[in-house]
A and B are shown apart, each in its own frame.
Chain A
């Protein structure tokens, strides 16, 4: 595998534009699959494009005395962070930029997303939006630590935090075989960071749409796009970290990665849309009493395997 990054291979500007395009397409795919699963009609796949175009031209409404600066920052930050997290996800075997701390970068973008979504809830000076923002924070307290342990488990097995190294270590054996708990926690946390599916309480109908309740026009488009792009980026990252990335017979590597990403998206949407929404006040104990010990145990098992030279 080449050690070049996408930015070195294509030049900085084309590489950045390419990653943005990949992110938007991934987001569109997630939204389309979501619509099809929810409505049961394949025709619904074009619905995201239609509603995006409508939101683009919709006039923005506002609230009484909003904190406009923070609100705008939050709305712009959500899709920006989703795209930034894609910078360390291998696309065609290369990442946009490669550092010795790719996994921590991905995690940092998620943490910033945490703050950004709270801002989206805070900005409009409205009770439902603020409630949604705080629900998002409360949920995050439950899954942030298990997610960190899950991410670090993949890095532990590869002996590197660099995404392309983790990619390369799985030539023979997919990480999901030895770390199923980490895989499930990672995918579930991705859904939770996009407050989607069973983790959609921050935008729940019981609080009139929560964080998204006062969003309109471009603002709503940005936040919704950020959610689906982040789900797509996380699916691609899950395929890279746990499902062997681009390893597979016959077909070229990047195509395998794409297929695995699509499979993760389909499975995530199919399972996620069949589960009831979790109450945010019922997640913290599960996260800390069940998931933290489980992920720690998972990391221990992997560490012992590493010491025995299992992954070498």
Chain B
């Protein structure tokens, strides 16, 4: 599979792979939420770079886009829900060290065994001229059901997470008998309601 990649691309994939792992390790070594967040972002950006080196431009760019937004949202959640909202005090990034070490080692073993024992299919077609178009046709065609299920699953998770995290419900907003004309919100949202 590596044969149709140039030497530069292989070197870039190797270097970025090391970088992404190193940045991933840094997430648990640093002592501030901000540094951990951005170490994680660096790791994802290295993965995006690998995709770019493999000539999968859309996947690369969309990885960078989504992961960056995710990290920014994480910073927002940091002030919303953390005991140390600004995150300015040093704090450890490791919790439940023994349990997570066991889980991590187990996942690593499963993945490595899987990678080396699965009889991977060989590519039967030539490389597409435009991988973005091929990806779009796959998502909108043969893989649409999977994408829809994942999309709805993600959306439900987001809603559930927010509902669990917020202490205010509709009775706080519209009164005990839900008859208030205007919701009683601590922060106005912008529309005259």
Contact = CB atoms under 8 A, between A and B. Distances in A.
Interface of A: 67, 69-70, 73, 99-101, 104-105, 107-108, 111-112, 114-115, 118-119, 122, 125, 130, 134, 137-138, 140-141, 144, 161, 281-286, 289-290
11 contacts: A67-B34, A70-B35, A99-B58, A101-B57, A108-B64, A112-B68, A114-B72, A118-B72, A137-B76, A285-B189, A290-B191
Q: Determine the main DSSP class of B at the interface with A.
A: helix
B97 interface: no
Interface in B22-47: 32, 34-35, 38, 41
Contact of B130 (A100, A104, A107, A111): A100
B79 A134 contact: yes
A101 B132 contact: yes
B170 interface: no
Closest 4 CB pairs of A and B: A285-B189, A282-B190, A100-B132, A108-B65
B34 A111 contact: no
B100 to A, nearest CB: 25
A70 B86 contact: no
Contacts of A111: 64-65, 68-69, 72
Interface size class, chain B: 20 to 34
A202 to B, nearest CB: 13
Q: Which of B133, B188, B191 has the most CB of A within 10 A?
A: B191
Interface string B61-78: 110110011011101100
Nearest to A113: B68
Contacts of A140: 72
A153 to B, nearest CB: 16
Contacts of A281: 187-190
A112 B71 CA distance: 10
B1 interface: no
A282 B191 CA distance: 7
B131 interface: yes
Given A108-B61, A114-B68, A134-B79, A282 B35 contact: no
Contacts of B68: 108, 111-112, 114-115
Given A114-B69, A137-B75, 19 more contacts: A67-B32, A70-B34, A70-B38, A99-B61, A100-B130, A104-B62, A105-B61, A108-B62, A111-B64, A111-B65, A111-B68, A111-B69, A112-B68, A115-B71, A119-B34, A119-B38, A137-B72, A144-B69, A283-B190
B57 A99 contact: yes
A215 B132 CA distance: 41
B164 interface: no
Contact of B61 (A104, A118, A137, A138): A104
B88 interface: yes
B69 A161 contact: no
A199 B71 CA distance: 22
A101 B88 contact: no
Contacts of A134: 75-76, 79
A100 B65 contact: no
A118 B75 contact: yes
